[in-house]
Chain A
C-alpha cells in the first residue's frame, strides 16, 4: 500500500512539468524569504496553459490571476487588497494569508491560506476552481458544465461521442466533446431506435415509432427522412459503403431486409421463415449476415380442461439461442445454423470478411462464466487463447476485439484480442463498477462507470458526464 501511494505521488509530480523557476520574495513581513515561482503546465478545458505556481509548506499553490485569465473570469483588487474574482454567477473574495474566503456573500474555509508573492496571489487551485463551479483533477481544470447522466454512448469520431439519456417520454441524444465534456443536443425523440453511426462517421441513422427511417448529418445536425415504409425495423446496420441500412423486419424480426439511402426502397435480403432473430451483423461487402435466433419452448396445454388443474407443461429442450449465417450469393433464402450447443450466446460480432463470428458464450450451468468463442462460417468452433476470465462484454474496435472481463476483487479488466491470431493483451484494469465499454474504430476507450461516461485520456479516466 505504501509503495502504491508513493508511486501515485510520483506520477502526479511527474505530470506537473516545470518549465521555469524564478526566485521571489513573499510580500508579508512574517514570510520575508525567497520563494521560488515556477511555471507549470496545466490543462484548462483540455487546452494546455502555463500557470505560475509556488510551493508553500509542501502545498502547491497556483496564481489566482493566471487561473482567472485562463478560465475567462474577471479579477480586480480592492483598496484593502481584497482580491475579487467574478466568474459566471459566482463572486469570490480572498485575502492574503487567510484561510477564509467569501463566496457569493457566504464565508467558507480553505485548507491552506492564500499567499502573496511578488505582488501576485497564489491559492490552492482545486479549492479555487471548485468554489467557482468548475472541476479540478490533477492540474486539469474544467469549467464546462457537464451533461447529467449517460445511459448509452457510441464514439462519433476521435473527438466526440454520442451520449443518450432518457428524457421525459422519450430520449435525448447529445454530441459530447471527449476532451472537455462540452455537449450539444443532436436529437430529442420519442419511440426512436438507438442511433447508429455510418462507417464514414458523417451520419447517424434511426427509425422512429412508425418505422420511418431518418439520417442526421452530424456536421449540420439536420435530419433527413430516408424511407416512409412503416414496417417494424429492429437493429439498423449500415452497409460499409453507406449506401444502405440493413435491419430485422417485422414484429417477430423474421426477415432480414435493407433500405437504400438514396431512394428509400426496402428490399428483402433473407426470408427464411425463422422468427425472432436478434443481434444482426453484416459483412463489410453486405453479402453475408449473421444473427442468433430465440427459439420458443414447446408448451403443451389443454384448454378444454379445468383451469384449476394447471394442465400446462413447458419443454425447453433444444431452445437455447443458436447462431445462423447466410450468404446472399446462395440466393436460396436458407440460412445455415452454425451452433447447436446448449450455451447461451450474446454479443455477436461478424468479421469484416464474413468468415468468422465471435461471441460470448455462457454455459447452461448457473455458475458458468462468459467465454469468448469464435466460429467460422462453416460451423467449426474454436476458442481464441486469452486469460481465462469471466467475459462480461465483447465489442469490436477497428480490426480488434475488446473484452470487458472480471479481474481482481474489485476490478474488471479490458483485454484486446487479435481476431486473426487469437492472441490477447491486457490493456488495463478498471473499476468493477464499469458497466459498459465503448471502443472507437481507432481504439479510443470510453466506459460507463457508475452511470457516468468516462474517457481514457492521458493515462487516466476522465469523466465527461455527471
Chain B
C-alpha cells in the first residue's frame, strides 16, 4: 500500500534528495501500480473496441491482465451472473427487460459506445436501397427474390445471427420494427459472430445480412434504409435509426482494475480517439 501514501513536498525533497522539486507537486498515485485481472465476454460487435482499449490500458497499467472473448451479447451478462466474467459486453441494457430477454438483476449497465448497425448485401446485389417493408419481407422469408425489391432475378440468401446476439436484438427492433425472423429454409443460414457474418456476406452471392457498421468492408455493400445511408453523420443527426448503445455490464458497481478500465473506455481520450477510428460513435455524440 506504499503507493497510496500521502507525501508532503517536504518529505519528497528529503527522500529524493533533489535540490529542486516541482513546487506544485501534489500527492498522487501513479497509474502504473494498478493490478488485477479483468475477464470480459459477450458481444462480438464490441470485441475490437474492447481489445483496442485493453492494448492501450495495459501500457498505462502493465500489471493488469485483460482477457476478452465474444460469443454473442447474451453470454456477457450470463457470464457475469455466473461469476466467470467481470464485464459482460452487450449490445443492449441488460439491466432492463428487452423483447426476448429478461433483465439481469443486480447488474449495472455502463454505456461505452454508440453502435450503428447496417443491412449488408453481397457485392453482386444491385438492390441497395430498401424500405423497412422490404427488409421485413426479406428477413421474414416472404420476399424470396431480389427482383421483388428492384434487383435482378436471383433468390435471396438470408444470413441471420443466432439467438442471443445483441446485433440481432437491435436489428430486429430498429430495422424490422420488431417483426419476426424466418427460422429455416434452403436459403437461410445462421452464424454465431460478427466475423462469421462478414465472411458469409463477402463470399455468398445474393446474400443479405446485418452487422455493426465497423465490420462493413469494401467487399460488401451497406444498403440505404428508406433512402438513408448508414453513416455516422446520419446517426448523429437523427435520420438513421438503426443503432444502439453498447454496454459493459458489471455485478454491482465495479471496483479496482475493472472500474478503472471502464473509466478508460468512457474517457474523452478513448471515445474521441481510438473508438472513432474503429468506426464506433462516442456516447457523447448522441444528444
Contacts and interface: CB of A to CB of B under 8 A. Distances in A.
B47 to A, nearest CB: 8
A279, A314, A364, A391 — most chain B CB neighbours (10 Å)? A314
20 contacts: A166-B267, A169-B285, A190-B272, A191-B276, A232-B277, A232-B279, A251-B278, A297-B39, A299-B41, A303-B162, A307-B78, A308-B102, A314-B69, A319-B67, A404-B32, A410-B2, A431-B21, A432-B30, A433-B28, A461-B22
B16 A450 contact: no
Contact of B32 (A276, A435, A451): A435
A135, A171, A298, A435 — most chain B CB neighbours (10 Å)? A435
Contacts, number: 209
A463 to B, nearest CB: 5
Interface in B43-102: 47-48, 51-52, 54-55, 58-60, 62-63, 65, 67-72, 74-75, 78-79, 81-82, 84-85, 101-102
A347 B277 contact: no
A404 B30 CA distance: 12
A53 interface: no
A430 interface: yes
Nearest to B84: A314
B71 A301 contact: yes
Contacts of B272: 166, 169-171, 190-191
Contacts of A166: 267-269, 272
Contact of A430 (B16, B71, B282): B16
Interface stretch (A2-10, A29-37, A98-106, A438-446): A2-10
B37 interface: yes
Given A252-B48, A276-B51, A294-B51, A1 B14 contact: yes
A-B pairs with lowest CB-CB distance, top 6: A191-B276, A299-B71, A460-B20, A392-B32, A11-B19, A433-B28
A278 interface: yes
Given A138-B19, A344-B65, A410-B2, A314 B273 contact: no
Contact of B3 (A12, A391, A432, A459): A432
Interface of A: 1, 4-5, 7-8, 11-12, 15, 135, 137-138, 151, 166, 169-171, 190-194, 207, 209, 211, 232-234, 251-252, 276, 278-279, 294, 296-301, 303-304, 307-308, 310-314, 316, 319, 344, 346-347, 360, 362, 364, 366, 368, 370, 391-393, 404, 408-412, 429-435, 449-452, 454, 459-463, 466
Contacts of B27: 433
Contacts of B154: none
Contacts of A194: 273
Interface stretch (B5-13, B171-179, B241-249): B5-13
Contacts of B28: 433, 450-451
B35 interface: yes
Interface of B: 2-3, 5, 7, 11-33, 35-37, 39, 41, 47-48, 51-52, 54-55, 58-60, 62-63, 65, 67-72, 74-75, 78-79, 81-82, 84-85, 101-102, 162-164, 195, 214-215, 267-269, 272-274, 276-279, 282, 284-285
Contacts of A171: 269, 272-273
Contact of A4 (B14, B32, B52): B14
Contacts of A251: 48, 214-215, 278-279
Given A234-B52, A412-B30, A450-B25, A393 B62 contact: yes
B277 A303 contact: no
A459 B19 contact: yes
A405 to B, nearest CB: 10
A294 B82 CA distance: 24
Given A191-B276, A251-B279, A344-B62, A429 B71 contact: no
Nearest to B79: A312
Contacts of B279: 232, 251
Contact of B23 (A12, A137, A279, A370): A137
Nearest to B100: A307
A290 to B, nearest CB: 15
A304 B21 CA distance: 63
B30, B71, B79 — most chain A CB neighbours (10 Å)? B30
A334 B41 CA distance: 29
A8 B162 contact: no
B41, B60, B62, B71 — most chain A CB neighbours (10 Å)? B62
A193 B2 CA distance: 35
Contacts of B26: 450
Nearest to A321: B58
A234 B7 contact: no
A220 B22 CA distance: 33
A7 to B, nearest CB: 7
Contacts of A344: 58, 62, 65
A314 B41 contact: yes
Given A171-B269, A450-B25, A346 B58 contact: yes
Nearest to B42: A299
A209 B277 contact: yes
Contacts of B164: 301, 303, 307
Contacts of A4: 14, 17
Contacts of A430: 16
Nearest to A275: B195
Contacts of B60: 435
A151 B268 CA distance: 12
A433 B25 contact: yes
Contacts of B37: 366
Contacts of B7: 410
B197 to A, nearest CB: 13
Contacts of B5: 409-410
A393 B78 CA distance: 36
Given A303-B74, A431-B21, 11 more contacts: A191-B272, A191-B273, A194-B273, A299-B75, A301-B164, A312-B84, A316-B67, A368-B63, A409-B15, A410-B7, A410-B11
Contact of B276 (A190, A366, A432, A462): A190
B99 to A, nearest CB: 13
A452 B21 CA distance: 12
Nearest to B83: A310
Contact of A347 (B15, B51, B59, B215): B59
B100 to A, nearest CB: 9
A435 B19 contact: no
Contacts of A433: 25, 27-30
A416 to B, nearest CB: 19
Contact of B13 (A8, A169, A191, A463): A8
